[in-house]
Amino acid sequence: MESVIVNGTGRVERIDAHHHLWRYSAEEYGWIDEEMAALRRDFLPSDLKAAMAPAGIDGTIAVQARQSLDETRWLLDLADATDAIRGVVGWAPIAGEDFPGVMEELTGAPS
């Protein structure tokens, strides 16, 4: 899915609205089965940038691939360090008693 936005300079940007990044391990990404062998590797910002350039994409939204606060925090750190990542769709335990505290923590995180 692609979105088009106009940035502060009036330049139109193309944004990939759904992109996954991960450090692959079979234990943590058990949903990646034998038929998806090409996905059984790390996908990091360098891979993202290499795929974006030829497609004419200016930025992307990183989306969680696991239900893990650690992954959400990692994606937020990547977004802070990588200009191409314009936002994060992460995971948080919305039914958990500690949800308000988790959201307070994540609210201050760059996205």
Distances from the Cα of 33 to the Cαs of 36, 40, 43, 66, in angstroms?
Answer: 5, 9, 16, 15
pLDDT at 106 over 90: no
> What percentage of the chain reaches a pLDDT higher than 90?
67
pLDDT in tens, 52-90: 999 999 999 999 999 999 999 999 999 999 999 999 999
Q: How confident is the model at residue 7 (pLDDT cuts 50, 70, 90)?
A: low
Q: How confident is the model at residue 5 (pLDDT cuts 50, 70, 90)?
A: low
Other Cβ atoms less than 10 A from the Cβ of 85: the count is 23
| pLDDT at site 3 | 57
pTM (2 decimals)? Answer: 0.82
Rounded to 10 deg, the angle between the 69-81 and 99-107 helix axes is: 10
Of residues 15 and 3, more confidence is placed in: 15
- The full 3-state SS of the chain, as one line of letters, equals CEEEEECCCCCEEEEEEEECCECCCCCCCCCCCHHHHHHCCCECHHHHHHHHHHHCCCEEEEECCCCCHHHHHHHHHHHHHCCCEEEEECCCCCCCCCHHHHHHHHHCCCC
Q: How confident is the model at residue 8 (pLDDT cuts 50, 70, 90)?
A: low
